[in-house]
Amino acid sequence: MFDKIVLASGNAGKLKEFSRLFAGQNIQILPQSAFDTPECPEPYFTFVENALAKARHAAKHSGLPALADDSGICADALGGAPGVLSARYAGEPKSDAANNAKLSADLADKDDKSCYYVCVLVFVRHEHDPQPIIAEGIWRGLWQQEAAGTNGFGYDPHFHLPEHGCTAAELEPEIKNAVSHRGLALQELLKKIQAVM
């Protein structure tokens, strides 16, 4: 049906991850930067709306099927915050250290430290695709005030996984890729794409 997909992201790590996943399908993943795609606004309060906007935007500028993800961390005690604002939780410029410090401060006096990562993936065949393929992955854990581990990025050093006895940043990358929110969403997306191809 198609042999190329544009990824609605400039993130090199995501490009590598998605390229590896789709290599077995003989589908090439191209970054949206290859098509001089401008940054897409993300004005929505939900992961799915932002991912859909990014996918349609990339498809419009490239003329190719497009894949987008929107992801972040949600703390139960904060009503799901930071949510879609995860990357800029502490404001501009974006800073993992500042975001982690803010979330630690916001959760310091809360008894409930439960939180979860969310990843929503949206695939569109073209800009006006009436039936986007949507997959979601959720990864549950507990907020840990002290950072631990050097793998991963973002909130990973504070995201404690009771079943593994460590933080996401202490997991081996192969294990993380299999059990993380993005890993779970990728597995679901691939099944859904294969079902309609």
**pTM for the complete prediction?**
0.92
For residue 99, is pLDDT > 70? yes
User: How confident is the model over 8-52, as pLDDT tens digits?
Assistant: 998 887 888 788 878 777 889 999 999 999 989 989 999 999 999
Q: Is 154 in a helix, a strand, or coil?
A: coil
Give which of 1, 137, 7, 144 is closest to 62, Cα–Cα.
7
Percent of the chain with pLDDT over 90: 78
Q: Residue 22's pLDDT is what?
A: 81
Task: Compute the average pLDDT of residues 81-99.
Answer: 95
Catalytic residue IDs: 70
Report the run of H or E that residue 121 belongs to, with start and end.
strand 114-124
Please give the CATH number for the structural domain made up of 4-196: 3.90.950.10
Starting at the earlier edge strand, list the strands of the sheet with 133-143. 28-31, 4-7, 66-75, 114-124, 133-143, 159-161, 166-167
Give which of 172, 180, 43 is closest to 119, Cα–Cα.
180
Parse the chain into domains and list their residue ranges.
4-196
Under 8 Å between Cβ of 76 and 112:
yes
**Half-sphere exposure (Cβ direction) of 136: Cα atoms closer than 13 Å:** 11
User: How confident is the model over 157-188, as pLDDT tens digits?
Assistant: 999 999 999 999 999 988 988 899 998 999 99
Please provide the average confidence, as pLDDT, over all residues in the chain.
Answer: 93
